[in-house]
Structure formats: C-alpha cells, structure tokens
Amino acid sequence: MKINLLKLTGLSAIVLSSLPAFSEGFDHKDHKKLFGFDIPWHQVSAKQTITGKVVDEQNLPVPGVGVKNITSGVSSITDPNGQFKIEANANDVLQFTYIGYKTQNITVGTQTSLNIKLAVSADTKLDDVVVVGYGTRSQRELTSAITKVDTSQFRQSGARNALDLLQGKVAGLQISRNSSNPNSGVAIQLRGVTSISGSLSPLIVIDGIPGGNLDLLQQDDIESFTVLKDGSAAAIYGTRANAGVILVTTKKGRKGPSQFSYNGYLRHETLYERPDFMNATQFREKLASGQYVAKDFGGDFDYFNDLINKDNLTNYQNLSVAGGGDKSSYRASFTYNKLDGFSQANSREQYQFRMSLTQKGFKDKVSAMFNIASNINNANLLGGGGWETVLVKNPTESYFNPDGSYLFTRNITNEVARLAQEKNKRSQQTYSVDGKIDIDIIKDLKASAFVAYQRNQFVDNQYRQIGSQNSVENGDSPGGGYAYKGTRLEQNFNFEPTIEYNKAINEKHRLTGMVGYSYRYEVNEEFSANNRGYTNDLFEENNLGSVPVGVNRIGIASNKNDNTLIALFGRVHYTFDGKVNFEAVLRREGSSRFGKNNKWASFPAVSASWEITREKFMENTKWLNFLKLRAGYGETGNSGFENYASLVTLSTGNLYPFPGNNWLQTYGPSRNPNPDLRWERKREYNLGVDFAMFDNRLSGSIEVFKRNTVDLLYTYTSPQPPFVQSSIYTNVGTISAKGLELSLSYAAMKGKDFTWNIDFAGSTIDNKLVTFSNDIYKRDMVEFGSIGGAGALGNAYRTYEGRNIGEFWGKRFAGFTPDGKWLFTNRAGQAVPNAQINTSPFRDQTDLQPIGNAIPKYYLSLGNTFTYKQFDLRIFLRSKLDFDALNTVALSYGNKFGTQGNLLNSAFTKYAEINDTYMYSDYYLENASFLKLDEVTLGYTFKFKDKAFRSLRVYAVGQNLALLTGYTGNDPDTIQDVGLGNEINGRSLGIDVRSPYPTTRSFVFGVNFGF
C-alpha cells in the first residue's frame, strides 16, 4: 500500500475526464442548451455500477477516500490501490471526501469509469498520514492520542538538540532546557512522572531505530516528529514505552529533478539578566555604614564579565541534494555547526553527513531503503561553570598578585586562572547504518525486514598544568600536573522482520494486520585512567606513564556490560465504512535485565474511533466539518534501569598474602539477587475528540487520560539473613496520573494578501505517589532534591504515599524574634524556635509540612503566524502557571550571617531582618509562574521567474525577548520542571541553582535557498 506524505499547498482540483459531461458542474440541463433539443433516452434512469480510481496531487493512489452517492445515500470507500465501486444512476451526484483535500462533487453521466485527482485543501490543518510505529496510518483512521509536528511548526531559533524544535508545540510534552550551554541536554517528560528510579524520558525512535541517538539529527534533516502519547499508541514498543514514544522521520528523496537546498544561520547571544550582587561601590557603602563586616582589599573588580564570551557566534550551515526517478530516489546532506557558548571555553563543533537511498525492482514488487548517518564533534567542556564563584567573590579583591601572577586562596577557586591553565575536551564520533527491504509477496500481503547498527564513541581529555590552582593546592603531589583520559563505546544492533496484510472487503470493510519479531542487542564499555605529579606540561594527557606511579596518585577503571531484548508483536486494524475504526495490539517481550522468574512480559492495547460527521444524521450540520471520538486502553512497561540489576554482582575486597608470598585479590557480593525482578507496568485509559468547524477554520483535539504505573522499581531495606546485603532492588509501589490536554488551530484571517493563523497548546495534570509499600517491604516516603550550599539543609522534597509528586516539605515560616532569629510553625500551630521543630520522617510526628509544589499546574503556549504578501511573521509565547520554586541564591546569599564574601543587594532590604544561620523553609519559596515572549521571527520570501531558483527566504529571529513574572530569582523557565526531585542533567525539580548558566537573549539571522 502506498500512502503519500501530504503537504498543504492549496492546489486546485483536477478531474481527469476527457468529456465535458464528466466535469464538475455539468449536468443534463447543459445538454439542452448545447444541442437545443431533448435527447429522448436521456431522461431514462439506468442503474449502473460506477468504478474508478482516486489519486493525490502526485498521482499516487489514495486509500480510504469516502465515496458517497448523495442522491441515493449509498456510500463506499477506496481500497488500498485507490480503486472504488459504487452504484449510481445517470445524473446522480457522487461526493469524494478525504481529510486534507477539498471535497469534490461529480455528476454521473453515461461513462461508467471515473479517474479522480484530489486537490489539497489549504483550509485544514489535519495531517493526512501519520507514522504510528511499524507502519503508517491516515489521520482519519487514528484511534489513539498521537500528535504530529512537521517542519512548518518547528521552532525557528536554531536547535542545540533536535528536541528543542518541539518545545511548547505538543500539549502534555514537557521539554526542560536549563541553559543555553551548547553541551547541555534537555530533560523530557510526557504526561507527568511514570517512575521513581527507572527511565523518565520517552523512547526515541529515528527512522524505525528504537533508542536512536539524537546526536545524529540536525534540524534540516528532520521531516517530522510523531508523539505517541497514550498507552494504546505506545504499547507496540512494550517495555520501553512507559514514558511515551517520540518517532522521528528524516527527509527522503522524491521523484523529480535534482533539487539543492541550502540553509544557514548565524546566532549571537547577549546577557538577559544576572543575579543582583553588590558591586565594589555598594560593597564599601555597606562596610562604611556598619551593615556588613568584611575586608576591603581596595580594588574594583567584576570577574563575572571575564567568564563571558562576548564575541560568541554560532555558525550553522546545511547543504542537501535530493531527487529521483520512477525506480529510485536519493537524498544527501552535509551539516557544519559550530555552537559558541555564552561562556568562555564552552563550545561544540560538529560535522554531520546523512544519506538515504530508495530503490525499486522486480516490477516494483521489491523496494529497498538505506540510510547512513554520521556525526563527528569536538566539545570544549571546560567552561560553563564557575558563575557562583565569581559572583560571591569579594568585589574589592583581585584574582592576581601584584606581580601579575594568579592569586590562589584555598577558600575560593580562581576561575580566570582555571580557564587559562586547565583543559577539558571531548572528541565524539557517532554512526548509524540501517536498511529496510519490502517485498510484495502476493496481492495484499507484504513482508519487510529492517536491520540497523549504531555506534557511539567518545574520548575525554583533561589536563591541569603544574602551575594551576588544582595542582598547587593538591596534598598528594603539590605542584605536580594532573592528567586524565577516558573513553566510552556504545553499540547496538537491531533486527526486525514484519509481515503486513491489507484487504478491502465488500467496499465497506478494510482489514490491516501486522505481525513482527524484534531483536536488539546493546553493549557498552568504558576505560579511564588518571595520574598526578607531572613535572612539566609538555605531554599533557598524552603520556600518562611519563611520571612514576605513586601511592594515592594514580587511578584506573574499566567496565563492560550488555543486555538483550527480544519481542514478538502484532497489530490488527479494522475500518468500517470509513467512519468506524478498531485497533488491537499485543507485544510479548523478554529482556535480560529482568529476573529469571520474570523474563517475559505481555503488553496489550485496544482502541477505537468513530467519525460522527460521516453519519447520515450529520449531513445538515454545516458548521461542523469534522468530529471524531476516540477511546483507548493500553499497557506499556519500563526497563530503563541498569544492566544486571537482578543478579548477584561481585566487587573487589582487600589483598591478602597467601602461602608462597602470593598476594591474592578477594571478592564479595555487592548486590543481592532478585529472581522476581520485573518491569514496571503502566495501565492507561485515554478519551479523545478531534474536530474541525466553521469551514475548517477552527480545528483541534481534546485528550483526557488516566493511568496507573504499578510495580515501581526502587531500593528497599532487605533482612539479613537471608540476604547478604542490606538493600535490594525490587518492585513495590504505584504512581497515578490524570490530566487534560487541549490543542487548537484557528485561521483567524484569510485574505488575498494577508493571513493570520493561531495555534494553542495547553495541558494540566495531577500526579500522585499512590503506594510505596507492600506486605514485605515497608516505606512511607521517599526524599529527593538535595539543597546543598551553606549548612546541612537536607532535601527539599518528601513524597509520601497518597500525596502529590513534587511537594516541597519543610518548615513553615512564622516570623522572626526581635533579635532576628527564625521562628517556625509546629504541628500544633505554634510559633517556636528552630530547636523545637521535630524533623522526624514520620508524618504523624514531624513538624515539617507541605509548603509548595514545584510542578506547574498549567502549561500553555500560543503561536501567531502572519503573512502579508511575501512577508511572514511568527510570534510564539509560552507560559507555566501555578508552581513554586526554591530560591537557593537568596537562601545562601541573602543572609548576612556567617560570611565575608559578596551578597545580594536584597540581603540589606528584603532579607535584612535575618540575623540567624541558614534555614530551608517556605520563606524562600516563591510563586514562579511566568509568561514569556519566547520567539519572534520575521521573514521575507523572494520570487523568481527563473525556474532554476526554487525559493529564497531570509529571516531574523529573536529568542527570549521578554519575561513577565513575580519570581525574584533566575529565569523561572530554566528551573527544572520534570522528575520527582532526582537530579537530571545536574538539576533537580523546582530548585533554582546557585550557579546558573546566565540567561541570554539570542538573535538569529538566516537564509533558506533552494535551486
């Protein structure tokens, strides 16, 4: 079956008929006008069978097109080859309808065969074909919660990570980027938290490769993203789909002459804001007034600016060529991308090549597709940190001695010296090769085989010069250089054969079935070595043996681990009369990660949809163009934990002398075995509505879901005996979630020269830890979110059974004593000093209380797209509402007690009353709700009379242009909003870090050129 990926281009309808009697709008009355007399036999109604074929704008057959005789009420649909058959009399009107195309009415004449060419409609945003995992499905036939985002909807400001293109574009999908650091990743979460210790991120599938490497994706190579949100959509991927699935489809060649495309841009970042610490003048004023006691060194320094790369310029260049003929097509692209960080010594330079080739043969019964992708990048990892250090440094003290040498003091790192005297770089190579062969065995039966191999390897190189602060202050080898070299190799192999059956029965019934087998093998290995005590800086890390091995100076480590996953899966899809769809999925999967008693798991799913507007009783509802109800249930799993977690593992002990003066290594068990260890299982219900109304000007979808994740994986205390170790990794708890998602698109204005389109995405969710104990393993709560900084402040979160995820638990502020000492509210509601607060972990005893929640209640985004003649303007806003953040910068540096470094100016205004040690309480929790003008794009498209030039568009983008918030810390958008409080990419949920990468504005200038 051939299904075309459609683009909304607004083509006009063409009816392929050589006689005027068969063209639209021509009926028997026109015969009278033409010939001047009645044809006697013309008025005789002769019942006949009309056959024909429906094709799209590329002359490819379109299955599932609704064919209705609106005179008699009889209806039919096209089969997988676009063929149809329907009974009609002369002068009856046949109506052809298909999502994404204009409806066509054809009056039947004497001809019994019609060829219809559909015209793409510019009035609907409903996608036509969607990748659903191991196949495709027309939008009309979808039964699950699936969202597709194509190139026309991508963000415009340049992607550091491919998933940056999706931020704010999919309701229910949270993509959290904590900084503009080019070497930082993104944290991803779909429909809330699904696990405590397992994987929280959706499974990434690139061109059919599960677990695809995002480093192999550049923005101009991506055709679309498809997000499988609910369990019925994701169940086909089994134990890796608990957190959802994101399918990435890359661009391929198409039939036609060779087309070259060039896309390039330059991006520059400027400082948006920085924490408001005192400068040297303000510092001296506080000393002179007696408000602060510290030493004045006589200088005036702002080393924050010395960490900034003021000349940063990101350079992105992509060139591609694509084309093809009747039997083959190709596409190749090359990308150069130099990402300059806003910080000194902070960059990423990468070269990427991607090529795809499709070939048909054996009378078009066999087709083969091959993809090759490679990415070579070099990253400078030295910079990006140290911001806290320079902010809190006494602004009157220099980083240099009077003779110009670097000044080192053990209480603070000299960040300027560190950037000059140390090295930390990574060289990485990533490769992917895959191929797929499709064979049409007989009519309606197709076999496919897919194979893929991925390899990712990087080498880390670090060196600290003999004169660096790290070397000078080292106690084991003072003044000796330090060198480190480490490497990691990740490989995986995938093999997936499938068989698909597609059959149209009696015009109103269509059945599609698919069965498959999956095999995946992963192996990872690492090696690292470091040494200290180098007497010169000649070899750096390239000759680790150039210094004699000494006690406490050398380190060496290596490891290797692997896992295997095998699955059998199947899917059946049934369509009745083009309006009712039913789908069932079953995947049976086994993983080497599970215990020997639970190696295999089964994941079923069922879903259905009903297109109400195709019913006869909806014919006169003109304002409603499309209405479909969907309902589904599906089960998925989570195997995203470390290899060998179910097995006994051994660790080394001490060396002991044996007879004969031999020293032998001892080993002992480091992990308890768990033969019953199994996958986490998510059971999810989803109810959805898709609609289009007012002549397709307003379209959208509403999703309501409820789910439970059971058998949560976590570490519990184990009895000794019978267990050797005091803890065991096992399945116990349950997490629940329920939520609502809304997506809307509205064509606000449509004129000859001017258009205005609005896109909205919004979601809300309620996430709870339902249970955390069973009859064997007992635990009331789990703690997350280390606060760090000055004082032993513990964790910010306690998630108790039955309570919401993301709750801050701490002391409730009750004021200050007259001399500035903390007062907090106890369980009885009394204001007491800190020494009288009970911090017990038992909620029936503790005085700690739920004081806020770090998970936004509402996620909202709004996109406005304007076009005027050849100009285009996009304005994109994002908002997160009703959530709290812990301002740790204020907690540590808004307190005058016990420090002689620099402080926030607010320490002498907002927080001036404090005269006590550091405390964690709701005093430092703030409402972090915000509205951000996230992206504005202005472009102009040139027109050419010469057909050799297809297109030329120049554009400019401003990102992070304005922020409306009452939060007084750093940009609340950079505060992590995913997870339970566990650390992800160096950040924890809801905790505003003390040393944030500076918030920046970025300005992009780019050009897209096709020839």
Residues 6+ apart with CB under 8 A from 795: 783, 784, 785, 786, 787, 981
Residue numbers in the chain where pLDDT is lower than 70: 1-47, 58, 99-100, 120-128, 548-552
- Candidates 719, 694, 739; CA nearest to 229 is 739
Which pLDDT score, from 0 to 100, does residue 24 have? 36
* 151 CB-near residues (< 8 Å, 6+ apart): 222, 223, 224
Q: Give the single-character DSSP code of 820.
A: S
Give the C-alpha distances (Å, rounded to integers) separating 406 from 413, 465, 917. 11, 13, 33
* Per-residue model confidence (pLDDT) at position 654: 79
- Backbone phi, psi, residue 658, to 5°: -115, 165
Full DSSP string of 844-898 = TT---EEEEE-S-SEEEEEEEEEEETTEEEEEEEEEEES-EEEEHHHHHHS--TT
Backbone φ and ψ for 458, nearest 5 degrees, come out as: -140, 155
Residue 1009: name the closest of 953, 960, 955 by CA.
953
What CA–CA distance (Å, rounded) separates 896 from 286? 11
Ordered strands of the 245-250 beta sheet: 146-150, 222-228, 245-250, 203-206, 209-210
* One-letter-per-residue 3-state SS of 76-134: EECCCCCEEEEEECCCCEEEEECCCECCEEEECCCCCEEEEECCECCCCCCCCEEECCC
Kindly report the length of the chain. 1011
What pLDDT was estimated at residue 658? 78
Res 8: pLDDT: 30
Q: What is the pLDDT of residues 448-507, one digit of tens each?
A: 999 999 999 999 999 999 999 999 998 888 889 999 999 999 999 999 999 999 988 887
pLDDT tens, position by position, 91-109: 888 988 876 677 888 888 8
- Residue 96, Cα to own-chain centre: how many angstroms? 38
Q: How far apart, in whole angstroms, are the C-alpha atoms of residue 159 and residue 352?
A: 15
Q: How far apart are CA 590 and CA 506, in angstroms?
A: 40
Instruction: Output the pLDDT for position 11.
Output: 29
